[in-house]
Amino acid sequence: GENVEQHPSTLSVQEGDSAVIKCTYSDSASNYFPWYKQELGKGPQLIIDIRSNVGEKKDQRIAVTLNKTAKHFSLHITETQPEDSAVYFCAATPYNFNKFYFGSGTKLNVKP
């Protein structure tokens, strides 16, 4: 089955700096890659996703890049704000299959 690895496990940045979280996957059949943000005491919420037919997607301060050849994808947050502090999870799912495989999470701390 699919194996998703995520790093770093913790990331501390100064407000206004950029943050990058990276994930790798093992199954070349994976074609959908969502990113979730989980705030304390809440369930994960989708913040951005990318499908395998594109290499990059942006939504305001967040962007995701995908390298299918290397089987890795990354989340980029620019101009970080304290409210960006949370745990971020990447996930991958193979084509025609609804089981999501999640990374182990990255705890992002944005220092004001």
Partner 1 sequence: GAGVSQSPSNKVTEKGKDVELRCDPISGHTALYWYRQSLGQGLEFLIYFQGNSAPDKSGLPSDRFSAERTGGSVSTLTIQRTQQEDSAVYLCASSFGGVGDIQYFGAGTRLSVL
Contact string (CB under 8 A) for partner 1, positions 72-111, x = contact: -----------------x-x-x-xxxxxxxxxxx------
Q: Is 14 in the site for partner 1 (CB under 8 A)?
A: no
Question: Which of 6, 24, 80, 85: binder of partner 1 (CB under 8 A)?
Answer: 6
Long-range pairs for 81-87 at CB < 8 Å and ≥24 separation?
Answer: 81/15, 81/110, 82/15, 82/110, 82/111, 82/112, 83/110, 84/19, 84/108, 84/110, 85/109, 85/110, 86/37, 86/38, 86/39, 86/40, 87/37, 87/38, 87/39
Q: What tokens appear for 63 in the block?
A: 């962007």
Residue number with CB closer to partner 1 (36 or 73): 36
Contact string (CB under 8 A) for partner 1, positions 24-63, x = contact: -------xx-x-x----xxxxxx--x-x------------
Residues of this chain that bind partner 1 (CB under 8 A): 6, 31-32, 34, 36, 41-46, 49, 51, 89, 91, 93, 95-105
